[in-house]
């Protein structure tokens, strides 16, 4: 090989090494659940999962446009796994991501407000390109929680993307959020530009548990 070829190979290896380190760091910071990835999503089990939409979401155009994703469905149908798999794909495309359960997010914001780190936390949340809020509307929201969530979404609007995973249909969100005025503002920032995925069917945990038991009994 010529010097130029060897030098090009060295540069390519260095670039690959840096990209691998960057992706590892992004995935570690994201704290995604279940080591979820698009390649392992179960498209065979009937649950009205639109494969073409999921594939489009791996291309990250929706992130560039600061669009959102809303994943709806009953307990155990795979909402959290799907949300984390989409975020995993975003990390592999060099976008930052973060997983938060809604109750824990509200708790962290309340603690930050009390200890003086509120501006720092809000700034951090605004810069995450893909923020997952899991178990959204799992319980009625308090007034501070409503206002804090609106602040988070306001800071992120037109800049970053949010993935919502919830059991609660969108038409019932206002009831769970509580204050109609704040609820309208929250929905306006989440819903109007969102890709919606409505999952149905049996619990994936039960299905996989039954398959495991069946496999074991056949041994």
pLDDT in tens, 109-157: 999 999 999 999 999 999 999 999 999 999 999 999 999 999 999 999 9
Start-to-end CA span in the chain (Å): 55
- In the predicted model, is pLDDT for residue 100 greater than 90? yes
Q: In the prediction, which pLDDT does 146 show?
A: 97
Q: In the prediction, which pLDDT does 214 show?
A: 46
Q: In the prediction, which pLDDT does 22 show?
A: 79
Superfamily per CATH, domain 31-217: P-loop containing nucleotide triphosphate hydrolases (3.40.50.300)
Q: Cβ distance 57 to 195 under 8 Å?
A: yes
Average per-residue pLDDT for the chain: 88
- Lowest mean pLDDT of 27-31, 56-60, 99-103, 208-212, name the range: 208-212
Could you tell me what percent of the chain has a pLDDT over 90? Answer: 69
Confidence of residue 201 (pLDDT cuts 50, 70, 90): confident
| Three-class secondary structure of residue 171 per DSSP | helix
Query: What tens digit of pLDDT does each residue of 26-71 get?
Result: 989 999 976 788 888 888 886 788 999 999 999 999 999 999 999 9
Taking residues 69-95, what's their average pLDDT?
Answer: 95
| Three-class secondary structure of residue 133 per DSSP | strand
Residue 175 vs residue 15, higher pLDDT = 175
Confidence of residue 108 (pLDDT cuts 50, 70, 90): very high
- In the predicted model, is pLDDT for residue 17 greater than 70? no
Q: In the prediction, which pLDDT does 35 show?
A: 76
Integer Cα distance of 31 and 83 in angstroms: 12
């Amino acid at each position: 090989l010529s010097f130029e070829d060897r030098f090009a190979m060295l540069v390519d290896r260095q670039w690959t090494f840096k990209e691998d380190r960057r992706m590892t760091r992004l995935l570690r910071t994201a704290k995604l659940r279940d080591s979820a990835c698009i390649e392992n999503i179960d498209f065979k089990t009937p649950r009205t999962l639109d494969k073409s939409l999921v594939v489009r979401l791996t291309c990250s155009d929706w992130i560039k446009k600061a669009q959102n994703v809303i994943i709806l469905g009953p307990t155990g149908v795979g909402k959290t796994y799907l949300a984390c798999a989409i975020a995993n794909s975003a990390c592999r495309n060099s976008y930052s991501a973060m997983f938060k359960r809604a109750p824990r997010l509200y708790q962290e914001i309340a603690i930050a407000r009390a200890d003086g780190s509120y501006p720092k936390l809000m700034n951090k949340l605004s810069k995450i390109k893909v923020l997952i809020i899991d178990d959204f509307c799992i319980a009625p929201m308090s007034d501070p929680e409503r206002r804090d969530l609106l602040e988070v979404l306001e800071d992120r609007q037109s800049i970053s993307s949010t993935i919502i995973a919830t059991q609660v249909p969108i038409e019932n969100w206002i009831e769970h959020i509580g204050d109609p005025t704040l609820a309208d503002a929250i929905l306006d920032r989440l819903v109007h530009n969102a890709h919606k995925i409505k999952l149905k069917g049996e619990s994936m945990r039960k299905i996989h548990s039954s398959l495991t038991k069946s496999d074991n009994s056949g041994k």
